């Protein structure tokens, strides 16, 4: 990796290390997305929660996954953190968090979004922060 890319990743890591705040009015849309999905591999029947990918993307490149804490789950009022997702070095950016059915607010590099986890259901999250291109 070149030093510009490492600097961009370091900047993204600083963003990842804090709980993302809501975007100000007029800010461009984020690149987070959520959708109901089939259970991820390794899930027991009846389990529910969120899984997906957390990281950064430059305009001309593939998404790069984060390692360490990579997604944060808050209560429906968005005040209390109730869980977190970890991304490991063997699969950067990939996370899976088992949750009880209910409403939550997901905080990730791509922004915050409310979700509702159904009994036995899984929600796939892709949360990417867009990094500027470097010369």
**Of 19, 45, 48, nearest in space to 116 by CA:** 48
Instruction: Give the pLDDT score at 34.
Output: 65
Q: What is the rounded CA–CA span in Å between residue 8 and residue 21?
A: 20
Give pLDDT tens digits along the chain (135 positions): 444 443 444 444 433 333 333 333 333 344 556 666 677 777 777 899 999 999 999 877 889 999 999 999 999 999 999 999 999 999 999 999 999 999 999 999 999 999 999 999 999 999 999 888 765
Describe the strand order of the beta sheet including 68-74 as a list of residue ranges. 81-87, 68-74, 102-108, 111-117
Cα separation of 86 and 108, whole Å? 12
Distances in Å between the Cα of 2 and the Cα atoms of 6, 70, 88 are: 6, 23, 22
CATH code, 3-20+28-131:
2.60.40
Q: What is the pLDDT of residue 15?
A: 39
CB-based contacts of 64, cutoff 8 Å, min separation 6: 9, 55, 56, 57, 92, 93
């Amino acid at each position: 990796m070149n030093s510009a890319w490492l600097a961009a990743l370091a900047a993204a890591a600083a963003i990842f290390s804090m709980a993302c705040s809501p975007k100000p009015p007029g800010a461009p849309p984020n690149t987070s997305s959520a959708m109901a999905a089939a259970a991820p591999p390794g899930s027991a029947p009846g389990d529910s929660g969120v899984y997906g990918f957390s990281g950064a993307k430059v305009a001309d490149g593939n998404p790069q996954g984060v390692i360490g804490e990579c997604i944060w789950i808050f209560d429906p009022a968005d005040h209390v953190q109730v869980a977190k997702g970890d991304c490991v070095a063997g699969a950067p950016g990939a996370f899976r968090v088992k949750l009880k059915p209910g409403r939550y607010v997901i905080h990730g590099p791509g922004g915050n979004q409310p979700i509702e986890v159904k009994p036995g259901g899984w929600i796939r999250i892709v949360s990417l922060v867009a990094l500027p291109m470097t010369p």
